[in-house]
Amino acid sequence: MNVKQIVSVVAVIAVMGYLYTQPVKGLVKQEGSHDGGPQAAPGQTEQPAKAAVNVTVDMVSIPAKAAIGANLAGPINTLEESLKKANSPAEKQKLQLALAKQWDDAGQQAPAAFYYQDLAEAKNSFEYWLNAGNRFNDAYKFTQDTATQPAFVANAIKAFKKARVLKPADLTAQTGLGIAYVNQTSLGITDAEGGSPMQGITLLLDVVTKDPNNRNANLNLGQFAMKSGQYPKAVERFKKMIAQKEEVEPYFYLAESYKQLGQKQEAIAAYQKCKELMADPAMSQRIDDYIKELKN
């Protein structure tokens, strides 16, 4: 399997991720709300913080290599050996960047995140903090390993906070932090400075106020609306995204939202668009199964 095929598979996994997510704690459906975002549950109390496992790049690299296969793992192994022998900070950072890019190309966010984090800590660079935060958020989204999720979320929050210190007005960092805040609360944890689900939603709503077509903020607001049962609001988000650009992920979530609303024909039409855009035989078969279920 080549790099492009692997990245394609990872993208499909991202689309299907909704099927494995749990409702976000602290977000409930409120029919009277018109702000486009999920609402906090009245009287919701924070849960005690869970102890995060000390996750390292070596821990996440082992399963990642198994996922991509020996051919793609070979160059990564070579870079890792060179990194162990690196004598100067400059040489070390050059190899860390090469490793981050190799993992990115292979569609493996978790190891890439740790290398970007190392670079960010060494250089205190906005770009590296942002890259680290985005990869940690993606790693959380894609993994079903509940042992590593708290570490991914905690690292994402740290990275986005560092990025915002360097560029307070940057909307990409604000979006990432908002997503991470909601993610951490879904795990029943908080950081030392709080970060409730509504703080996260507020950050995302502020982003779309300033940039109404912001893809990442709209996508995540739509997903969080689904998790809190606000499917009409989710439909609005995903239709707005699709009007800007037709993509698999918003079409899939649009189909799921229509299905939950009992709008079968609209759901089928959205699923059909997923098939057209994916052009993946295995996933097309799965989509056909969803359509068949709706028709019965």
Q: What is the pLDDT of residues 29-87, one digit of tens each?
A: 433 344 555 554 444 444 444 445 689 999 999 999 999 999 999 999 999 999 999 99
Give the pLDDT of residue 119: 98
Amino acid at 198: M
The Cα–Cα gap between 33 and 196 comes to 19
For the chain, give the mean pLDDT: 85
The predicted structure's pLDDT at residue 95: 98
Beta bridge partners of 83: none
Look at domain 1-26+52-192 and name its CATH class.
Answer: mainly alpha
pLDDT digits (tens, 9 = 90+) for 244-258: 999 999 999 999 999
Q: What percent of the chain has pLDDT over 70?
A: 81
pLDDT of res. 278: 83
Alpha-carbon span 78 to 219, nearest angstrom: 37
At the topology level, CATH places domain 229-296 in: 1.25.40
Report CA dihedral (60, 62, 63, 67) to the nearest 10 degrees: 120
DSSP 8-class letter at 31? T
Res. 194: pLDDT tops 90: no
Instruction: Return the pLDDT at 27.
Output: 59
Q: Is the pLDDT of residue 225 over 60?
A: yes
Percent of the chain at pLDDT > 90 equals: 66
**Alpha carbons within 13 A on the beta-carbon side of 258:** 20
Fold matches, 1-26+52-192 and 229-296? yes
Domain boundaries, the chain: 1-26+52-192, 229-296
